[in-house]
Structure 1
Amino acid sequence: MQSLTRVVTRQVGRRARIATKTQSTAVAAQRNTQRQPIGPPEQQQRSYATPRLYDDGSARSAVINVLNNIGSKREVQQYLAQFTSVSSQQFAVIKVGGAILTDYLDVLCASLRNLNQMGLFPVIIHGAGPQLNKLLEQAGVEPQYNEGIRITDGKTLGIARKLFLEENLKLVEALESWGVRARPITSGVLMADYKDKDMYQFVGEVNQVHGDTLKAAIADGYIPVLTCMAESEEGQVLNVNADKAAAELARELVPLKIVYLSEKGGIHDKETGKLIEAINLDEEYDEYMKKPWVIHGTRSKIRDIKTLLDDLPRSSSVAIIHPESLERELFTHSGAGTLIRRGTKLLQASTLSEFESMDQLKQTLVRDREGLDSTSVVDRYLESLKNREFKAYYDESMEALAIVLPPSDNNQLAHLATLTMTRSAWLSNIADNVFQNLKRDFPKLAWTVKQDDENLTWFSEKADGSIARKGEVLFWYGIESPEEVRQLMSEFVQHGRQMFGDINLESQLHRAAAAAERIRSRAAQLAGMRGEQGQQAQQQARAFSTSARPQRTAVKSTAQRRGYATTNPNPPLGIKNSEKDYPSRVAVIGARGYTGQALIDMLNRHPNMDLRHVSSRELAGKKLKGYEKREIIYENLTPDDIRRMAEKKEIDCWVMALPNGVCKPYVDAIDESGHKEAVVIDLSADYRFDSGWTYGLPELVQRNKIASATRISNPGCYATAAQLGIAPLIPHLAAQPAQPTVFGVSGYSGAGTKPSPKNDVNNLTDNLIAYSLTDHIHEREISSQLGTAVAFVPHVAVWFAGIHHTISLPLAQQMASRDVRQLYQDRYDTEKLIRVSGESPQVKLIAGKHGVEIGGFAVHSSGKRAVINVTIDNLLKGAATQCLQNMNLALGYGEYDGIPVE
């Protein structure tokens, strides 16, 4: 019993320790960050001239390690990826109060240095209110206010201007002494009108922001530091409110974060004295405006923030925090201080009939699982909900969904059965909004999480206590008496997750059942097959009610949406662990070309692919180079040869690397052999429009569909890049006759090895060749798979490997470039072979890479046309790499086995 008490005490006290730990973050950053000056400013030498290398890997790693102390690695990486995907000036606007400059200057500098070392450039604007009051008192000037606004006469303005310049230089010099290049900007950016010249005299209201000066400073590698002084059209200096000036900067720069640093650390409820952690304006604004303590400055601040956020994308937010919490606010889901966002209004349901769309509900639940029986598991889950009481919380687009089983006669605790979040919902803090609703409606709640869940920190923040057992962590809140805690722990230790309801029993269905059934006959022939494989597959299955995978990414169609639930993320079929570990016998028909050679190179590295035959009429009799597992001689295999081999079931997977129009006799021979279990993958276009074949683009086609297929058509290289570049915007495209246009340029390897003008280097030098300007087969392929007409215009250039697409997409409604980029980041968040960046990718950097890069994200001034750039290596992800993904899925291996994943 004493041991149990110690466990409870440790867990309940954990949050206090976390809070204490974060207060020392800045100091830890100072001690741990390498290659930067350490110590107070007076002990360091300032250098304005020496540029700092922002790609310093060791410094970046050190800072990320420090950040990991205040949040999970996954959180830090998510937010860092988000911040670095936008232009530098769109990262953050930070307003620094005067008291921060006097009491927390070193803490502020340490935090800004950490951000700067990661390539982040916040725009700083500072005030100096407390310092000004002191100087005015010394000068014998009695401060005068009207409605909380300082009346600024000539003498006050003179003192203020001198002070602001001194404080600006003080902050810049402090930053430089910490190794941060900063640029003082004291004029030319903020323009203002007189507020009321007769009443306030030299007080202004910002009416225009010249952002070019800020952008130029950032482009040169400097953090811009502004004062809250503006100028009229006549050049008169005016005193402006720093909070309002920061808001106008935000309107101009459209940052992801607007941060107000305050020694108070946020907004406090005057009735309870507690810090308000978050305000969701869409749901709570009217409620806060009615509170009796929301008056004067507090009322004005909340109102002004709402007005600001109404003008910005929904992804923007305002944080009022203490300087010690700056990194915690930026890089953790729980944040610090008071976070104010427009939020998302949550809907509720207590019966399935209350959901507007059952199809949407099913899709939301399926997006978190990639099992071969995922749809049937979801159907059984929903069927079970018909006969039990539950309460669901979700937003209109179902970016977030939580399902709670209320207390019962046998259990006084509510149980969180499902929590799924897309990446955008997670980063916009909808998860916190959900938990606010849960705490309001369920005073006592429990849920389980896998012990290695990368989001364990966030769940810990929401809990009052926890206990771990056999890889599971039980969390709870609202339980106060030791007897209740003891009983809960006892039940958890005795019954594990089953205590949370038999919904969880659905999770025991192993996702590889169909694949195992398909490979059973050939697996029995192979030595080394282990009987425990079925059990391993079951162990890999994720508990349905508390899973946490985003697959939109699944965000996405299937494996793209990122959903967070209350267990460890479960990878799509084959991504994490191979489901079989014995080799598959492979034959490549047509291995002479570039693609065949690239595939053979990867098969040579694959732990479980056993290449047995390669066929090439031109190379017959010669030794295959680049394959080291066994000696292989090229053969000239005929359809009759293939039929005889298939009848004997000598090959598990046939890869057709033949030109268009040549493949059919070989496929017919395999079909006629009766060996239905053999996998056939065609790299040509012959079967891409055949409904009896599965289209093998794993990032857009359900992986379980590919895993259960035996006839797979490998997509074209142009078509793969174009589809991935268009798919996230399909729901937002303008109606016909407007259509996306793809301007594609390929290296000459795409023209094959047979000599032609399109692969003649001399002909291509200083040249660009357009061909098949209409009705190219890839145009048909792209349009057919996406379900919308697409115009495709191909070209060939002098480089060897790599494709560059410029894709123009007409939009149905106005969108901002950040909104477009966010769709792509969400859609491909968990895809290992897709990289989304704010910059346009370069074709020279994709050659030899196994993935796809998507970037650019320009939007026309009308807001109705987006332009996206995509690059892909036509021989790898455009052909051989994608083929190996499909082989792995269909044969039961890890999807990326044999593929170097960066």
Structure 2
Amino acid sequence: MHCIRAPAVRAVTQAATRSKCSSRLLSRSTPRAIVASSQHAVLRHYATALGQTHPSARSAVINILSNIGSKREVEQYLAQFSSVSSQQFAVIKVGGAILRDHLNNLCEVLRRLNYMGLYPIIVHGAGPQLNKLLEAAGVDVENRWEGGIRITDGKTLGVARKLFLEENLKLVETLEALDVRARPITSGVLTAQYLDKEKYEFVGKITEVNKKPIEAAINDGFLPVIPSMGETVDGQVLNVNADMTAGALAEAIQPLKIVYLSEQGGLFNKETGKKISAINLDEEYDYYMNQSWVKYGTRLKIKELNELLVKLPRSSSVAIIHPDNLEKELFTHKGAGTLLRRGDKLHTAIAMSDFPDIQRLRSVLKRNREGADAEAVLDRFLRQLETRPFKAYWDERMEALAVVLPPVQGSSLAQLATYTITKSGWLTNLADNIFQNLKRDFPKLFWTVKQDDENLTWFFDQAEGSLNNGKGDVLFWYGIDNAEEVRALMTEFSLHGRKMHGDVNLESQLAAQQSAHQAQTPLQASNPMLQQQTRAFSTFPRASQALSQLGRPKATGSLSHQSRRHYATASTTNPNPPLGSRNNTNSRPSTIALIGARGYTGQALIELLNTHPNMDLRHVSSRELAGKKLQGYDKREIIYENLTPEDIRRMAEKGDIDCWVMALPNGVCRPYVDAIDGSGKDTLVIDLSADYRFDSSWTYGLPEIVERSSIVKAKRISNPGCYATAAQVGIAPLLPFIAPEQQPVVFGVSGYSGAGTKPSPKNDVANLTNNLIPYSLTDHVHEREISRQLGIEVAFIPHVAVWFQGIHHTINIPLASPMAARDIRNLYQDRYAGESLIKTIGESPQVKNISGKHGVEVGGFAVHSSGKRVVVNATIDNLLKGAATQCLQNMNLSLGYAEFEGIPKM
């Protein structure tokens, strides 16, 4: 390895030899060859060998694998990057502002890339630093520009040359301090000629790139670091624009990636203010160049990058990205900045005669299809396409193919019947390209995917809603904002499961012989397509496990985050599979009575009920607010009441209330519950206090941890505590691995809303400012709750801080035997795969990112050097998933609605 001294090199070499790798692995390009031949197993050997002699290197490798997207994405892209020669991985242009403000973060990222065997070529500028020096020297910087190019006289050139050498050395030394060998290449690479000597003076344009110094540096195990200065053939130094230098290097090197690091982190649509995720230049170049907001620097950048990519292989792409997100851009399908690529021009067909080669079409449709009946099923499908409307999309090489069945009369829903794409198609973002066209042509679309599909997370990103039928299939849709339309779609899916598959399961269209025996749902009645569905013909590759973000769709489209309704019921691979038998079977609005609404939790629940399509709030009780009008509820006018237990008994006897929610302080609600019990009516009661959390006759309502089926059947549900919810989520996946006779320790910090509305030192902002207040340091009620539910002793140490809402847990967990951070994170990903309201991340989650959100974030996964202790972090909004959102989950399950109906996406 280039960054480790001889003993470590021998260790890696021995590990590679033990892995029966070829003798080629003994070169300095070891990691590249290893990954190309056997990514995961050898990376494990490699990390282990590094760990024996260089712990920081091992930590870096594991960190990159456990903190970027999914392991599969990382390995896919790492294999792609490793499939070319070292110098063809990437050219990274670093501007002066990045060197000035983000140097350390940049070098940390470069270190991790380097430890994975990747050698980006670094070219840098120093514009802002040069401006500062020139201003200090009395130069009128503002008037020394022409057409975006700095006029460089002799004095400016002298200052610039000295500065560039200093900045180059600073970057190299920072890398070396991180044990990354870097080589400054300040001459001999870039030959230039005067751009326009009379106009710009000592400004050049690159005419030739000498690759030999770059190749020599990489072959010797060094990152090449090149300033954006060229030399004429007779040795005159010229100032060259750094973007132009990066482009010239890319044209000569032909890398897979050209990266422009930017503080803005990408290109932005000036009309919407949103970052542009990707631009397919072959299809979208003219569109963008004709937009009124594409002007000045944005227009020039798109134009220049289009000209550059035309000269490069189609596999090359440009990323404009903030340095902090560089790894996410490189190693995930979703990316983080703006990706520009030539893309592939898409072809369309609305009739079979539009396909240029039917045999090729047949072979594409057969991809990943197993079974003896494949040919017969395919024949039937093609015959169907000859007689019915459809629209197909494919690229020139048919790496990707989509077939959509348009809406039929009486329905507005189109169905994605086939969506097949090769692995190389995923890596070149063909999937995004096609889906952009689908969303343009079909404003309302649904499709189904197998739960174990390896690209499942990508489909969640395209969808606005989802439903898992608990049988291995996931229904997705976008563009549907009508509750009845969604309910009909979900009912059909729940009843017939795989029979709804298209191709994203195409065989669903074929077996009409069974439709006569099936009762028609409202959706079937309006959509004959759904009357013909039986088995599934899947063209999606299968994976060994569901991915970590199953059930966590991303909000897209024109509706606001606040106004969008979400209907996602997800299944998971954990030991407690979610779906109960009653999901989304209730079509009647449920009447709700809320007892105790003055507090923050009651107000949060009222806001959720206000937008829930099937919850009808009828009564709200508060002694302090009695007689006043309830604010924040628009469905009907409600006046606060001061309901006594006797009032509640009489109301319960009438049977007009479907669900009673007790949002009262601890120790207060029992008389009210007794009154309901005495009514003789078995209506649903949910208690948000701690009064019944230790009562075995009540169901503990934490859907992600307990059996959901028990909640579905329950009429008495105790809503978990906020601290307790996050702590259980943070500990549960490691329960089998905790050291015996030892206990996890939870250090929790809550915002002051957790102290309630009654004035106290714990919600006094003046007292909390510049302060952290510990309280109930032993025997806190949540300590007993966590321990009871997990079945082990857990120590809990609560604190309150000056922010309003949100909780952060730092959880120390002793392990019975050594474990690696990567394996621990995989445990959490697997345990919470399918949970819409739990997000597993690599880094430590932050309170500011969870406040106002409806789920739990868990991450950190820092393992002690012994491997026998891990620290996990978890964050939760104490008023939402810690109380009101969780209450609504339990209400949905028990009342017969989809679990996440009315709950905004995380």
TM-score for both structures, normalised by structure 2: 0.49
